[in-house]
Structure 1
Amino acid sequence: MVGIVIVSHSSKVAEGVKELALQMAKNVPIASAGGTSDNELGTDLEKIIVAIKQVYSEDGVVVLFDLGSACMNAQMAIESLTDEMQKNVKVLDVALVEGAITIAVDSSIGKGLHRIEEAVKKLCLHKMS
């Protein structure tokens, strides 16, 4: 099952999105990485790395984020992983809440990382038209 990491500048936002997604797909591995290590607003590279490793499987991991610097830290976290793990972790730029729910449901019904990525891209294109 594809895991999900929610990266937010706010620990409350990250936990809330995780809680909402788990309501739709209870068995999907979802981790939150919100806020800094001293509980301030911001993102923490180590929290993101730990979260990825927590939900990682060969099925893959999708990392979602709220703001640009969270994306940058997510990319840096992926670079710290082994080459094999890096191949199975994708950062996707989608609406945080809607994306998390959509991906959680898709993961729960057995869609793989590639199919989830395609579905999310279609979701984004559909919203733009």
Structure 2
Amino acid sequence: MVGLVVVSHSARAAAGIAEVAGEMGGDTRIEAVGGDGQGGLGTVPDDIETALAAADEGDGVVVLVDLGSAVMNAEVAIELSDVDAVIADAPVLEGTVNAAVTATDPAATLETVCEAAEAARDVDKT
């Protein structure tokens, strides 16, 4: 199964997004990571790398991020990791929900889960 990692500058935001997506994502492994490691806002590549390893069940991991430097730190973590992972260019909450639901399909691949996350860019809310 494809796993997910939610990266936010706020640990509480990442956990909340993972909680919402988890309600719809069945057994999809969703790891939340955020904060600067000292209780403040930020992201840490080592923490993201740890989350990648925890989310990986062998089919890869889709990473969803909130802001620019989270992308940079996620890229560093992916480079350091042995996990097959990609960053989705998607809104973090809606993309994580879409990805979690898609990942429940036994035929899901890293590509299809990432595409589902990125499809959330076009969802109208009203």
Total equivalences in the alignment = 123
Q: Which moved more, 1:15-24 or 1:115-124?
A: 115-124
User: Quick check: 2:4–2:61 contact (8 Å CA) kept in 1?
Assistant: yes
Distance 1:98 1:122 in 2: 9
The answer for the alignment partner of 1:118 in structure 2 is 115
User: Quick check: 2:7–2:43 contact (8 Å CA) kept in 1?
Assistant: yes
Pairwise CA RMSD: 1.5
User: Quick check: 2:97–2:117 contact (8 Å CA) kept in 1?
Assistant: no
Secondary structure of 2:57's aligned partner: coil
1:17 equivalent to 2:17? Answer yes
The answer for the alignment partner of 1:67 in structure 2 is 67
Distance 1:117 1:31 in 2: 16
Matches within 5 A, 1:83-98: 85=83, 88-98=84-94
Deviation at 1:127, TM superposition (A): 4.4
Secondary structure of 1:15's aligned partner: helix
Q: Quick one: percent identity of the two aligned structures?
A: 37
1:5 equivalent to 2:9? Answer no
Distance 1:25 1:121 in 2: 16
Q: Which moved more, 1:68-77 or 1:33-42?
A: 33-42
Deviation at 1:117, TM superposition (A): 2.5
Instruction: Provide closer, same or farther for how the CA distance between residues 127 and 21 of structure 1 changes in structure 2, counting only shifts above 3 A.
Output: closer
Distance 2:37 2:120 in 1: 33
Over residues 26-46 of structure 1, what are the superposed CA-to-partner deviations in whole Å (9 max), with x where a residue is unaligned? 311010111011110011111
Name structure 1 gaps, 5 residues minimum: none
The answer for the alignment partner of 2:56 in structure 1 is 56
Q: TM-score, normalised by structure 2?
A: 0.90
Distance 2:120 2:20 in 1: 19
1:30 equivalent to 2:27? Answer no
